[in-house]
Amino acid sequence: MLSLVSLLIGCVALLLAIPALIPFLGWANWLIVPLALLGALVGALVGQFAQGTGARNFCFFVAAFAMLRLWLGGGLI
Amino acid sequence: MNRPIRTLDAESAARHRAGLLAGLGAYGLWGLLPIYFKLLPGVSALELVAHRIVWSVVFLAFVVAGYRLWPALIAVCRQPRLLGALTLSSVLIAINWAVYMWAIETDHIVAGSLGYFLNPLVNVLLGTLVLKETLKRGQLIAVLIAGAGVAILAVGEWQMLWISLSLAVSFAFYGLVRKLTPVSAAVGLSVETIILAPVALAYLYWLSTQGALMFGRAPLLSLGLIGTGAITAIPLMLFARAARSLPLVTLGLMQYIAPSIQFFVGILLYGETLSSGRWASFALIWAALALFVWDSLRGRPRAAA
């Protein structure tokens, strides 16, 4: 159940991360990174109770993608 | 070390509950898809399909990375036979999506739902004709009743007939090809959308040169078009989860949730009307499905107590 929530949070974060690739929208990643990390945290909770860390990893990849974009834009652009 | 039986029971019950939720989520989202596409006004069916393909590639890339499916994906790409089968299934799913989007765009959601109600019966017919599976008597009667329902549409309801039949047949052939291709749902759809992506991108580029591309015209509309990737990937992942933890019979029964929701969405939300001929056709196909489901449940071996 929690893995599904994690997957959904990750999808929302990715949905927002794609338009944030547009120049001058890089600042949006300051919100997207925590959102993706929240998804990863929820996904990590799953790992405590059951097998399967796919949703957590999915969120980590989204967070890493958003962090990379944030870094490329100097945190603003 | 042996774990107490009660813990195992609780675990399996929780697993079953999560599977049910995932199944409800998958079929519920598929059922609500028409509302999503209706919220993207002015975008042609073909542009929607192209976006769905391109953005699915992006979303599925993250899914494949997160779920560590790269080795499986690469293994598929190295086998020409599997790649050939997935090329065929990608064409079938593209046809299915295009007809479905067109049906939504032109206010034929109910016709689309009929197509998915018909689908299990077309599957049975296809299994008999192609895979030489034996048709049980109950199934034969169900197929004949559904055939009568389709025949009613042939009299004066050509548009509904071709939408429903092309959806049912394209999805049944898609299911058949995928059944014969030993590839998981997420990897399969990833390969299919990667195969279709160049065509989709070329079409979007052509639209932009004609000044007809809707993407980029309004922020919310563009976000909605990007979201077509998410609304393709999410139900698929939920379905894969449900398929892992639910018995096939439960999953088989749950598949009627999506067309049922679509039916009510079409009638109640978008004011689509049904002529008496269409009602008669629906009644026959629902009767056929009821018989089909009853026959499947009856023939199933009882679960051990």
Tell me the chain B residues in contact with residue A12 when contact means C-beta distances shorter than 8 Å. 230
In this structure, is residue B28 part of a structural domain?
yes
Interface confidence (ipTM) of the complex: 0.91
| Partner residue facing B66 (CB), from A1, A19, A61 | A61
In this structure, is residue B303 part of a structural domain?
no
Tokens 């591309």 correspond to B213
Give the angle B63-A18-B201 at the CA atoms, nearest 5°: 85
In angstroms, the first-to-last Cα distance of chain B is: 25
Which pTM value belongs to this model?
0.89
Return d(Cα B80, Cα B277) in angstroms, integer: 47
The phi and psi torsions of A24 (rounded to 5 degrees) equal 75, 0
Total domains in chain B come to 1
A63 in reach of chain B (CB within 8 A)? no
Return d(Cα B277, Cα B110) in angstroms, integer: 14
Q: Which residue of B has its CA nearest to A56?
A: B66
Is B67–A18 a contact, with Cβ atoms under 8 angstroms apart? Answer: no
In this structure, is residue B304 part of a structural domain?
no
Is A15–B227 a contact, with Cβ atoms under 8 angstroms apart? Answer: yes
Is B65–A62 a contact, with Cβ atoms under 8 angstroms apart? Answer: no
In this structure, is residue B271 part of a structural domain?
yes
In this structure, is residue B4 part of a structural domain?
no
- pLDDT tens for residues A2-13? 888 898 899 999
Instruction: For chains A and B, count residue pairs whose Cβ atoms are closer than 8 Å.
Output: 57
> For residue B2, is pLDDT > 60?
no
Is B238–A4 a contact, with Cβ atoms under 8 angstroms apart? Answer: yes
> For residue B222, is pLDDT > 50?
yes
In this structure, is residue B81 part of a structural domain?
yes
Residue B297 contacts residue B248 (beta carbons within 8 Å): no
HEC-encoded secondary structure of B138-159: HHHHHHHHHHHHHHHHHCCCHH
Domain interval for residue B143: 19-298
In angstroms, the first-to-last Cα distance of chain A is: 37
> For residue B285, is pLDDT > 70?
yes
Give the angle B125-B131-B137 at the CA atoms, nearest 5°: 45
> For residue B305, is pLDDT > 50?
no
- Region A43-48: what's the mean pLDDT? 76
In this structure, is residue B9 part of a structural domain?
no
| Partner residue facing B66 (CB), from A12, A15, A55 | A55
Distance from CA of A63 to the nearest CA of B (A): 11
In this structure, is residue B231 part of a structural domain?
yes
- pLDDT tens for residues B170-213? 999 998 998 889 898 889 999 999 999 999 999 999 999 999 99
Tokens 């019979």 correspond to B249
Tokens 């599925």 correspond to B60
The single-letter DSSP state of residue B304 is P
Q: Confidence class of residue B69 from pLDDT cuts 50, 70 and 90?
A: very high
Return d(Cα B12, Cα B171) in angstroms, integer: 32
Interface test with A, best of B24, B57, B62, B223 (most A CBs within 10 A): B62
Distance from CA of B165 to the nearest CA of A (A): 33
